[in-house]
């Protein structure tokens, strides 16, 4: 599953091509992905201006001019790829977005574990997809003090604690492994023992690893590509994963 750097990379790639444009046409080729598409999904998107594209946790959000947000999760194998309009549709191209500026973006997902839905943007904090989520590790709120507080009293190992999206969002196996290695912390150490100096080292390592991965376009194992179709390159910098 794409982790924070991969989703951030996709958001930035889409933003440069889509922000400020309107959806001229949306083609939906099936009734559902992980969840059903909302009723009149394509019709409700047609003509809407894309004001901003940004990431929340592992979700891609498109802020629309009617006050709604298009919520996209890539699941295990989803891709958002900018394509030529003349390109032949692939078997797993489930949704095709075309803008008034002539850009076409295809959502391709062989395993169909991704999702797309619409929700009022002002209500996202209380939305069932987001209300349980923890702090973003690239935000100022993610500090050594916050991490130590969240881990206090936990007897589970630190690696699964980092994977708990209720504590920190977007960190999966790849970046938990790399961050712990860089911080010099065993993945088997009890989470509750991560205080003071260790918390400082770990927070710094997580932020640095994620920033470096984003700069490299993410990590491409099997499915991740940037919206241009280019692979990510951070897998060449892995130390332990």
User: What are the catalytic residues?
Assistant: 2-3
Q: Is 1 helix (H, G, I), strand (E, B) or coil?
A: coil
Strands 79-83 and 104-108: antiparallel
| Residue 118, beta-bridge partner list | 70
Q: b/e for 172-205, b at 16 or more Cβ within 10 A?
A: bebbbbbbbbbbebebeeebeebeeebbbbbbeb
Q: How far apart are CA 76 and CA 112, in angstroms?
A: 8
Token reading at 187: 């993945």
In 3D space, the residue among 83, 49, 55 whose CA is nearest the CA of residue 71 turns out to be: 55
């Amino acid at each position: 599953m794409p982790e924070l750097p991969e989703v951030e990379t996709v958001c930035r790639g889409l933003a440069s091509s889509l922000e400020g444009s309107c959806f001229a046409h949306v083609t939906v080729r099936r009734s559902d992905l992980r969840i059903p598409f909302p009723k009149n999904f394509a019709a409700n998107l047609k003509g809407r201006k894309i004001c901003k594209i940004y990431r929340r946790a592992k979700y891609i959000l498109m802020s629309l001019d009617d006050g709604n947000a298009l919520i996209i999760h890539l699941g295990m194998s989803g891709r958002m790829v900018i394509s030529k309009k003349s390109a032949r549709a692939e078997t797993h191209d489930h949704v095709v977005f075309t803008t008034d500026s002539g850009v076409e973006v295809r959502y391709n997902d062989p395993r169909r574990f991704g999702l797309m839905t619409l929700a009022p943007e002002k209500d996202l904090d209380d939305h069932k997809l987001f209300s349980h989520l923890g702090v973003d590790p690239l935000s100022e709120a993610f500090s050594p003090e916050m991490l130590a507080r969240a881990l206090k009293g936990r007897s589970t190992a630190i690696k699964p604690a980092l994977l708990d999206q209720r504590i920190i969002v977007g960190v999966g196996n790849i970046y938990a492994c790399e961050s712990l290695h860089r911080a010099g912390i065993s993945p088997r150490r009890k989470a509750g023992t991560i205080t003071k100096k260790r918390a400082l080292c770990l927070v710094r390592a997580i932020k640095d690893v994620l920033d470096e991965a984003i700069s490299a376009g993410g990590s491409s194992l099997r499915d991740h590509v940037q919206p241009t179709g280019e692979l990510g390159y951070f897998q060449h910098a892995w130390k332990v994963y």
